[in-house]
Amino acid sequence: MTVRSQPLLEARGLTKSFGGNVVLDGVNLSLAPGEVHAVVGENGAGKSTLIKVLGGVHRPSAGTLRMGGRPVVLHSPQEAMAQGIVAIHQELSLAPNLSAEENIFLGHFPRTRLGLLDRAHMREATRRLLDRLSIAIDPTLPVGRLSIAQQQMIEIAKAISVKARVLILDEPTAVLDAGRVDILFDLVSRLAAEGIAVVFISHHLD
């Protein structure tokens, strides 16, 4: 019998209320490295709120989060990212006028000893990252010229560039055709094989 790895992320009794409206009620979640979990529910079921609690946007009204067995309290998406938790929302957060490589490293640009942008290092690091994920995109192209599916891939590459250990994907297939969905699933499988835990949010399951 296979022994399950120690949970990477654990949520116990997560509850979130807005005024008198309980949106999440005692949610439990346990993710081990390399696992892919689907969270499926109709619109209004609280999926977006769960993403925002796990991603540091909302503080839970009750319940606890543990990362690697240690209790964590997340006050912001930046704190979640520092713990290795990255959420990719339906509304992508890329800057359309910046290149793919600039978007991937936005907020943590590599610098030279003089503090200048090390563009050569950024380009090489981007190419290595895209090759690792089997993403065939020209990193110098402005993101605004890429398809929605390609922009999703850049968002995922951006998450991996900050060493995400838990990746939360919010309705990632909603705007993709069947062929693009298969490409996305292949990428998720590769991430899981590297030990990254993935939470896949959807309102339907084919």
What are the extents of the domains in the chain?
9-202
Low-confidence stretches of the chain (pLDDT < 70) are 1-5, 203-206
Q: Tell me, what amino acid is at 84? A: G
Sign of CA dihedral 180, 164, 45, 76: negative
Quote the pLDDT of residue 93.
86
Quote the pLDDT of residue 2.
46
Paired residues of 38 in beta bridges: 200
Quote the pLDDT of residue 151.
92
Phi, psi of 12 (to 5 degrees): -130, 120
Quote the pLDDT of residue 203.
65
The fold adopted by the segment(s) 9-202 is Rossmann fold (3.40.50)
Quote the pLDDT of residue 101.
94
Note the pTM of the prediction, 2 decimals: 0.85
Quote the pLDDT of residue 19.
86
**Calpha distance 77→10 (Å, rounded):** 17
Quote the pLDDT of residue 192.
94
Q: Which two tokens stand for residue 48?
A: 């977006």
